[in-house]
Amino acid sequence: MPSVAVRLDADMKARLEKLGKARDRSPHYLMKEAIEAYVSREEWRAKEDAIIEERWRHYQLTGEAIPHEEVVAHFEAMIAENKKKREASARRA
């Protein structure tokens, strides 16, 4: 596996070492996990941006859109369903 050097100031290095000790992990492990999380998040964001751009182009070409009332009804139904699930879960606990 290739290596990559990262320059950190003394404060960040100390913080990583302290956190690593608290989590029983090496600073290397923490940096690797942080980079993986960042790259995954940015890849997801890029995909979402592409979807949004495509939807915007489609709207500009066709003028088709979902009416506001439908969007509100959809999210209200999702919220109600999630509330029911939380209440059922709380009753079982």
The closest alpha carbon to 5, from 31, 37, 26, belongs to 31
Which two three-digit tokens encode residue 86?
């939380």
Say whether pLDDT at 86 is over 90: yes
Identify the pLDDT of residue 16.
Answer: 96
**Residue 63, SS3 per DSSP:** coil
Compute how many other C-beta atoms are within 10 angstroms of the C-beta atom of residue 29. 13
Model pLDDT for residues 27-81, shown as the tens digit of each residue: 999 999 999 999 999 999 999 999 999 999 999 999 999 999 999 999 999 999 9
> Domain spans of the chain?
1-62, 66-93
The CATH code for residues 1-62 is: 1.10.1220
**50-56, Cβ contacts within 8 angstroms, sequence gap of 24 or more:** none
Cα–Cα distance measured from residue 52 to residue 68, given in angstroms and rounded to the nearest whole number: 17
